[in-house]
């Protein structure tokens, strides 16, 4: 019985999780600025990139440790879902590749888990088409109309719809429950096939649709969300505050609702993180 009760975060846990995601979002956003402005002139590889990200996180006094070993994959390595770079596989970040980084931090008052797929001057229209379909699935989860009977199996279907329209899919669940300091995987709730646990106020879950073409590229967009209750209505509220790479988006595939969601999300990211950014990062 404790397993289920533990998943229902109280107001203090949610408040502190929000703070931890602001700090973590600032670190990851600064890392993205550094990476985007450095990979053409500096020899950055998968290992040196993840080490640089850890440096940014360590600047926060509340940072305790990583949530899990960072997944830092470029080009074909980004297609390996649970990839871990080592001396043998370590790849340089090259122009034209996608770079996928899945990482998280354990802060003294919260746990983060976020994935961003970044363009290293990608020109491949097929990659952009698929990235946009993954984004559409991500938005479908984030804006899913929750009620007291909503459960993960049904939400999982909405995340896959836009990939399945072109006969594509991904071989993992769309989201797992997340705990509060030290538990990055926590149930019983999940956005996955067969999960019938109903979402309740205070539950935290990841939202991470993706697509992986073996030996070519991988795409994943992951935010953490929590179930918020307002006037007896439930909805998902984003915890993660990190920009989504707009250079990979095929705009014509997005509806006006999806464009509006993306703009609102980025405005929220800007408002929450601007005090941590220098003049160059703000412009």
* pLDDT at res. 157: 96
pLDDT digits (tens, 9 = 90+) for 90-130: 999 999 999 999 999 999 989 999 999 999 999 999 999 99
Cα–Cα nearest to 130, from 211, 54, 69, 65:
211
- Using the predicted structure, report yes or no on whether residue 54 has a pLDDT greater than 90: yes
Q: Residue 214, exposed/middle/buried by CB under 10 A (0-12, 13-18, 19+)? A: exposed
* pLDDT at res. 25: 98
Burial 184-206 (b: 16+ CB within 10 A, else e): bebbebbbbeebebebbbbbbbb
- Using the predicted structure, report yes or no on whether residue 183 has a pLDDT greater than 90: no
- What are the residues whose beta carbons fall under 8 Å from the beta carbon of 93, sequence distance 6 or more? 35, 39, 44, 45, 46, 49, 74, 99, 120
pLDDT digits (tens, 9 = 90+) for 214-235: 999 999 999 999 999 998 899 9
- What are the residues whose beta carbons fall under 8 Å from the beta carbon of 257, sequence distance 6 or more? 143
Contact 14, 237 (CB under 8 A): no
| Tokens encoding 193 | 């096939």
| Tokens encoding 163 | 């990939």
* pLDDT at res. 170: 98
* pLDDT at res. 152: 95
- C-alpha 119/C-alpha 12 separation (Å) is 37
Phi, psi torsion values for 84, nearest 5 degrees: -135, 115
- Using the predicted structure, report yes or no on whether residue 162 has a pLDDT greater than 90: yes
- Using the predicted structure, report yes or no on whether residue 36 has a pLDDT greater than 90: yes
Least confident piece of the model among 45-49, 139-143, 179-183, 272-276: 179-183
Query: Per-residue pLDDT averaged across 255-268, rounded?
Result: 98
* pLDDT at res. 258: 98
Contact 111, 180 (CB under 8 A): yes
- Using the predicted structure, report yes or no on whether residue 207 has a pLDDT greater than 90: yes
- For the entire predicted model, the pTM comes to 0.96
């Amino acid at each position: 019985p404790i397993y289920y009760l533990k998943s229902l975060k109280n107001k203090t846990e949610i408040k502190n999780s929000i703070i931890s995601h602001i700090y973590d979002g600032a670190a990851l956003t600064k890392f993205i600025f550094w990476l985007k402005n450095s990979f053409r002139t500096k020899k950055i590889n998968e290992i040196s990139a993840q080490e640089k990200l850890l440096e940014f996180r360590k600047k926060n006094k509340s940072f305790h440790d990583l949530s899990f070993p960072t997944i830092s994959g470029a080009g074909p390595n980004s297609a390996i879902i649970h990839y871990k770079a080592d001396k043998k596989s370590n790849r340089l970040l090259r122009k034209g590749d996608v770079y996928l980084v899945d990482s998280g931090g354990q802060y003294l008052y919260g746990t983060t888990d976020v994935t961003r797929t970044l363009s290293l001057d990608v020109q491949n229209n097929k990659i952009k088409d698929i990235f946009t379909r993954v984004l559409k699935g991500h938005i479908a989860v984030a804006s899913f109309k929750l009620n007291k009977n909503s459960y993960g199996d049904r939400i999982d279907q909405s995340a896959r719809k836009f990939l399945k329209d072109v006969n594509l899919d991904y071989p993992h669940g769309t989201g797992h429950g997340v705990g509060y300091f030290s538990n990055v995987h926590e149930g019983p709730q999940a956005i996955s096939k067969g999960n019938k646990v109903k979402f309740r106020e205070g539950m935290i879950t990841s939202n991470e649709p993706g697509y992986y073409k073996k030996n070519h590229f991988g795409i994943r967009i992951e935010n953490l969300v929590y179930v918020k209750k307002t006037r007896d209505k439930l909805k998902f509220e984003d915890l993660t505050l990190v920009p989504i790479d707009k250079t990979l988006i095929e705009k014509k595939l997005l509806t006006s609702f999806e464009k509006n969601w993306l703009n609102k999300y980025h405005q929220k990211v800007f408002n929450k993180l601007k005090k941590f950014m220098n003049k160059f990062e703000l412009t």
